[in-house]
């Protein structure tokens, strides 16, 4: 799959996330009578938005790995290409600097933490004042604020959009890095 196909996939994931966030916004305000559990329709749209955006950095990493190919040894495979792992293995280059900016963004840590909690444990949300809030991650220095489900979803969508906007530039930088090692 060429880099361009990963770009299309990232754009589609961003649109999926926007769709879910729009649906989530229509379901609010939340009925705090549901107790500690977010109602299923809200949970489904919240997870739909978050998981769609969470895949964007990994798709970008896979696109970079495919673009660079064997020119740089030690890169993860396409199926194991998490953005932070690709950045660790890239030599000092312009593409590495751009990708490091995304990895250093607090939203990246927060989003990965949320995805891991939602996948492997229980993603706790609590109600308060007619809103539902996402628990902040323990392992990230800075967390996304505010933590209500709609604002959180929009914050991660904004992060995904910033990545998608940079894909053309990142592809050119990855090609330049590959060419530097191939020549």
Query: 5 vs 38, which has greater pLDDT?
Result: 5
Across all residues in the chain, what is the average pLDDT? 86
pLDDT tens digits for 94-134?
Answer: 999 999 999 999 999 999 888 877 765 555 566 666 667 78
Peptide bond before residue 146 is cis, with ω within 30 degrees of 0: yes
pLDDT value for 29: 60
- For residue 31, CA distances in Å to 35, 84, 132 come to 9, 38, 9
pLDDT tens digits for 60-78?
Answer: 999 999 999 888 888 998 8
Strand ranges for the chain from DSSP E: 125-128, 131-134
3-state helix, strand, coil in the chain (%, to 5): 70, 5, 25
pLDDT above 70 coverage of the chain, percent = 86
Contact of 169 with 97, CB cutoff 8 Å:
no
pTM (predicted TM-score): 0.88
Examine the pLDDT at 31 and tell me if it is beyond 70.
no
Examine the pLDDT at 90 and tell me if it is beyond 70.
yes
pLDDT value for 35: 56
Domain boundaries along the sequence of the chain: 3-182
pLDDT tens digits for 134-163?
Answer: 878 877 878 888 788 888 999 999 999 999
pLDDT value for 150: 86
Examine the pLDDT at 44 and tell me if it is beyond 80.
yes
pLDDT value for 91: 94
pLDDT above 90 coverage of the chain, percent = 53
């Amino acid at each position: 799959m060429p880099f361009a196909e990963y770009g299309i996939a990232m754009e589609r994931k961003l649109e999926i996330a926007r769709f879910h966030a729009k649906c989530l916004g229509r379901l609010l305000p939340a009925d705090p009578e549901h107790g500690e559990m977010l109602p299923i329709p809200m949970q489904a749209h919240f997870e739909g938005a978050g998981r769609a955006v969470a895949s964007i950095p990994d798709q970008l990493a896979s696109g970079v790995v495919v673009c660079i190919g064997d020119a740089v040894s030690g890169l993860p495979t396409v199926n194991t290409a998490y953005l932070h792992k690709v950045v660790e293995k890239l030599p000092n280059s312009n593409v590495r600097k751009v990708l490091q900016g995304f990895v250093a963004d607090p939203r990246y840590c927060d989003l990965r933490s949320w995805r891991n909690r939602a996948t492997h444990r229980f993603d706790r949300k609590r109600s308060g004042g007619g809103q539902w809030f996402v628990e902040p991650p323990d392992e990230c220095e800075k967390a996304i604020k505010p933590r209500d489900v709609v604002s959180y979803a929009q914050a991660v969508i904004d992060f995904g959009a910033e990545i998608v906007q940079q894909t053309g530039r990142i592809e050119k930088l990855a090609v330049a890095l590959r060419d530097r090692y191939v020549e």
